Amino acid sequence: MKFYIGTDHAGFSIKDEVIALLRARGCEVVDLGPTSDARVDYPDFGHKVALAVLEDAGSFGIVICGTGIGISLAANKHHGIRAALCHDAYTAQMARGHNNANILAFGQRIVGLGVIESMIDAFISTPFEGGRHAMRVDKIEC
Ligand code: RB5
């Protein structure tokens, strides 16, 4: 799987560890920044990751800010993006299985590395179930 990752300053310090977790699982990762913990605006990186995912068919994204809320809201402004704000392995699993999420979002101030690892494992190992869920996911776009 290929992932684009972006954060704001409140998600920056966990970014390298998340990248390492993904690479250890055989995923390709493109780091879209930021490159330091200087204050930045979460929408800039939410949009950046969303556009990269849309331009690279079949790819996925990870966005991280303090809560995961702002950066996921920004990513979800793009048609075709389904950024799921997750808090544990179950929400990450359902985000893929039922919602066909193409971006995993979480908050560095909310979840620790152990939970992040379990979310990543759930997200990368769960296929979209399709069927009745496909029709519902189609209805998300308006
Ligand atoms: C930054 O302080 C914080 O507002 C941001 O990381 C995020 O939590 C917004 O949703």
Q: What whole-number distance in Å separates Cα of residue 90 and Cα of residue 83?
A: 15
Closest CA to 13 of 86, 109, 88: 109
Q: Is the pLDDT of residue 133 over 90?
A: yes
Q: Where are the beta strands (DSSP E) in the chain?
A: 2-7, 28-31, 60-65, 83-85, 103-107
Ligand 1 atom index nearest CA of 71: 10
pLDDT at position 142 is 85
**Ligand 1: residue whose CA is nearest its atom 9:** 70
Would strands 103-107 and 60-65 be described as parallel, antiparallel, or unpaired? parallel
Ligand 1 centroid–CA 134 distance in Å is: 32
Q: What whole-number distance in Å separates Cα of residue 91 and Cα of residue 118?
A: 11
Q: Is the pLDDT of residue 17 over 90?
A: yes
Torsion angle of C-alpha atoms 28, 34, 40, 46, degrees rounded to 10: -20
Residue from 14, 45, 65, 110 whose mutation best tests the ligand 1 pocket (most atoms within 8 A of CB): 65
For the chain, domain boundaries: 2-140
Tens-digit pLDDT profile for residues 20-67: 999 999 999 999 999 999 999 999 999 999 999 999 999 999 999 999
pTM given for the model: 0.98
Reply yes or no on whether 98 is catalytic.
yes
The two structure tokens encoding residue 117: 């690892």
Tens-digit pLDDT profile for residues 71-123: 999 999 999 999 999 999 999 999 999 999 999 999 999 999 999 999 999 99
pLDDT at position 137 is 97
pLDDT at position 128 is 98
pLDDT at position 30 is 99
Give the CATH class of 2-140: alpha beta
